[in-house]
Structure 1
Amino acid sequence: MRRRYTATILIASLLIASLMGVLVHAQEETPNIPEYDIIIVRNDDLIDYIAVQPYAKLLNVPVLPVNPQGLDEKTWAQLYSYVQLGWKKVLIVGNSNAVSKEVEDELLKMGYSVTRIGGDVRTETAEKLAVHFYPSGSKAVVLASALDYGSALAASKFAMEYELPMLLTLENDLSEHAIAGLSNLKPNLVIIVGTGINQTIETKLKNMGYQTYWLGRTVEKPPVSPPEEPSPYTYSFIGAILALVIAVPVVLYWAKKKWYSHKIPVEVLTEKERIVVKALIEQGGKVKQEDLPDLTGYSRPTVSRIIQELEKKQLVEREKVGKTFIVKLVKEIDLREY
C-alpha cells in the first residue's frame, strides 16, 4: 500500500513540475506584456485592424471588428457569450471617434474590464499600441505608411512573424508620432515596408542614428530573425529537474516513515527495560550479560529479571558462551524520543 502511495506522490510531483515548467516557459515568452482576452476595433476602416494584428498574435487573442456607433444584436450576443467563458479583459483600439463611448458602456454593463488605446490620428494610435505592448523597448521596429493599406498589411504580417512593434508614418515625412514611438522604443534598426514611403524618410532615419532596412528594396536578408521556437526538450528538462526537487524529499520522507514503522515503539517498554535496551543499542546491539549491571547501574538479579521480560516480548535473545550469556537485540526499537 505504501509503495502505491509513494508512486502516486511521485506521479503527482512529476505532473506538478511539468506544469511549473510550462508556466516558466509562458512567463519567459511574454515578459511585461499586458494581458487581454479580446481586442475590439472599428469595422468601417481597416487601418486599426491592421495595426493591432502583431499584438493580437503576441497575445494569441481574437480581434473583433464592431460597428463604431453601437453593438448590433449578433455582436452583442457574441460578446456576451465570451463573458460566460470567463473572458473579461477587453482592449478597444481607437478613441471615441473610432469606437464610440456607447460601445464601451455596453461592454462595461456586460461585465468586461475595458482598456482603450487610441489617438486623434492613426499614426498616434499605432505609436500608443507599440509602446503599450513593448514597454521595455525593442531591438527593431517595423515602419509603414498610414495611408497605403497594402504596405501596412505587409508590415503587419512581418511584425507578426518577427514579433516586433509597428509604427505608421506619413508618406513624405516622418510623423511626430513615429518619432515619439522610436524615442520610447529605442530600436537600433527600423525596417521600412512597402513603396508608400518617400526616400527622404529613410534618409532622415539614418541621420537620426538608426540603421535601416527597406523590405522589398534591399537585396540582403533582413538583419533580424524570427523568434526561435524553444525546443520541447528544454522545458521537459526543466520539468524533470523540478520533479526531482519535489519528489526526492517526498520519497525520503516516506522511506524514513516506512523504516520507523518496522521499529518497536518505546512505549511497550518499562522504564528499566528502556535503560537496558539503550545500553544494548550503545554497545552495537550485543553485549555480555555480566557487563549490563555496570552499564545500567542495576543489580545482577534486576538485570536478569529485565532480560527475561525482554525475551518474553521477543525483543532480545540470549546465547550461552562459556560461563556467561551474550544478550542480543533482535528487533529495532524506536528510542528517538527517549
Structure 2
Amino acid sequence: MKKVLISLVFLSLFITSVYASYPQYDLIIVRNDDIIDYLIALPYSHLINVPILPVNPKKLDKVTKAQLYSYIQLGRNRVLIVGSANAISLEVENELKEMGFSVTRIGGADRTETAEKLALHFYPNGSRVVVLASAWDYGSTLAAAKFAMEYKYPLLLTWENQLSPAALEGIKALHPTMVILVGLGLNETIEKTLEKMGYETYWIGRDIEPPPIETNTTTAVPPSTKSSKLSFLLGMIVAFLVMSPLLVYLSKKRSEKRQEILDQLNEKEVAVLKAIIENGGEIKQEELPEIVGYSRPTISRAIQNLEKKGLVVREKSGKTFLVKVVKKIKLD
C-alpha cells in the first residue's frame, strides 16, 4: 500500500511538472466573426486543457459578461486573448481587466504572425515536429489543428505559394527536424524550400498512401500508438480525397478575387481598407490616422480612391464621416 501511495505521489508530481512547463491560463478568448483565430488556438487549448470562448470583437455583450462573472467567481481569472487590437478591441481587453481578469494578449500583424507568436509562446524550447497549413484554406487549417492537438505539436500558418516570413521565422526558432504540411492549400514550392533548408517534410492530404510518420530521428512515435495514429492519418486522407475538388475550387476563386482587388490598390489604400474591415466593416474616419499611422490628408485621399473603386462608402456622422466597406475581402 505504501509503495502504491508513493507511486501515485510521483505520478502526480510528474503530471504537474508537465503542465507547469507550458504557460498557464484559465480561458482563451478569440473573436467570434472569423473562425481562423479559433482554429489557431485549438492546439494550445487542448495542450493546457482550457476552453475557448468566442466573443464579439468590439464589445462584450451582457450574456457573455454574465458567463465571465460566473467563471471568475470560481477563481479562474487568467485570460489569453488571441489576436491584435484589430482582431479583438482594446475595449474588450479593458472590460476583462475591470471584471478582475489577468489578461495576456498574443497577436501579430496578420494570422501567420499570430500563429507564430502562439507557437513560440507555448513551445519556448522548440519542438521536434511542426505542423504547417495554409492561412487561407480553412479546411486544411481545421485538419492541421486536429493533427497538432492529437500529437501536441505547434501549428504555423503560411501563404499559399511561398513561406510567409512569420512561418519561416517560427520554424527556425522552433528547431524542428520534421515539418508536416497539411492540406491542398499549399504549393510544392514551400516543400522544396523546406527541404533545401535541411528539414524533413511529410505532406498530409497530397498522397493517397502516406509514408510512415516514424523517422530515424527523435520524432518516432511510441510503438503502442502506431496503429491508432496510422488509422487517424488514413481517415484524414480519405476525407481530403472526397473534399479535394471543392477545396481546390474555393481556394482558387478566393485567391483570384483577392488578387484582383489588390491589383487595383496601392499600399496606403490596402492599409486603410484592412483597418476598416478589421474593425467590423465600418469605422469613423477620424479614428483611422491613429490606427493606420498615416496623416489625415493621406487617409482622406485613400478613402476617396477606395470610394471611386466601389470598395467603401462614406456617411456623415456628426463632425466626421462613417466609412463603410461595400465589398468585403480578407487582405491579411
TM-score > 0.5 by shorter chain: yes
Aligned match of 1:135: 124
Pair 1:178 & 2:171 matched: no
Q: Cα gap change, 1:227/1:154 in structure 2, threshold over 3 Å: closer, same or farther?
A: farther
The question of whether the paired residues in 2 share the 8 Å contact of 1:188 and 1:211 is answered with yes
* Aligned counterpart in structure 1 of residue 34 of structure 2, from 38, 45, 49: 45
The question of whether the paired residues in 2 share the 8 Å contact of 1:163 and 1:227 is answered with no
- RMSD over equivalenced CA pairs, Å: 2.1
Q: With structure 2 as the length reference, what TM-score do the two structures score?
A: 0.62
Aligned residue type for 1:32: S
Q: Cα gap change, 1:227/1:70 in structure 2, threshold over 3 Å: closer, same or farther?
A: farther
- Pick the structure with greater CA Rg: 1
Question: Whose RCO is larger (CA < 8 A, sep 6+)?
Answer: 1
- d(CA) in 1 for partners of 2:45, 2:68: 17
Query: 1:154: Cα distance to partner?
Result: 0.2
Aligned residue type for 1:221: P
Q: Cα gap change, 1:227/1:159 in structure 2, threshold over 3 Å: closer, same or farther?
A: farther
Query: 1:62: Cα distance to partner?
Result: 0.1
Q: Cα gap change, 1:106/1:19 in structure 2, threshold over 3 Å: closer, same or farther?
A: farther
Aligned match of 1:126: 115
Aligned match of 2:96: 107
Query: 1:18: Cα distance to partner?
Result: 5.9
Pair 1:222 & 2:213 matched: yes
3-state DSSP of counterpart to 1:30: helix
Q: What number of residue pairs does the alignment pair up?
A: 219
Aligned match of 1:160: 149
Gaps of 5+ in 2: 226-332
Aligned match of 1:331: none
Aligned match of 1:95: 84
Aligned match of 1:63: 52
Query: 1:229: Cα distance to partner?
Result: 9.3
- d(CA) in 2 for partners of 1:51, 1:67: 18
The question of whether the paired residues in 2 share the 8 Å contact of 1:163 and 1:226 is answered with no
Query: 1:120: Cα distance to partner?
Result: 1.0
Aligned residue type for 2:70: S
Alignment of 1:181-200 (within 5 A): 181-200=170-189
Identity of aligned residues (%): 58
Alignment of 1:191-210 (within 5 A): 191-210=180-199
3-state DSSP of counterpart to 2:185: coil
The question of whether the paired residues in 2 share the 8 Å contact of 1:42 and 1:65 is answered with yes
Q: With structure 1 as the length reference, what TM-score do the two structures score?
A: 0.61
Aligned match of 1:76: 65
Give a deviation string over 1:202-238, Cα, whole Å, max 9, x none.
Answer: 00010111100001224213235667999xxxxxxxx
Query: 1:182: Cα distance to partner?
Result: 0.6
- d(CA) in 2 for partners of 1:222, 1:196: 21
Aligned match of 2:158: 169
Give a deviation string over 1:81-111, Cα, whole Å, max 9, x none.
Answer: 1110110100000001101111111111111
Q: Cα gap change, 1:185/1:228 in structure 2, threshold over 3 Å: closer, same or farther?
A: farther
Pair 1:33 & 2:56 matched: no
* Aligned counterpart in structure 1 of residue 135 of structure 2, from 146, 149, 153: 146
Q: Cα gap change, 1:227/1:99 in structure 2, threshold over 3 Å: closer, same or farther?
A: farther
Aligned residue type for 2:147: F
3-state DSSP of counterpart to 2:166: helix
Give a deviation string over 1:38-91, Cα, whole Å, max 9, x none.
Answer: 000000001000001000000010000000001101100001111101101000
Gaps of 5+ in 1: 1-9, 231-338
- d(CA) in 1 for partners of 2:76, 2:37: 22
- d(CA) in 1 for partners of 2:223, 2:24: 22
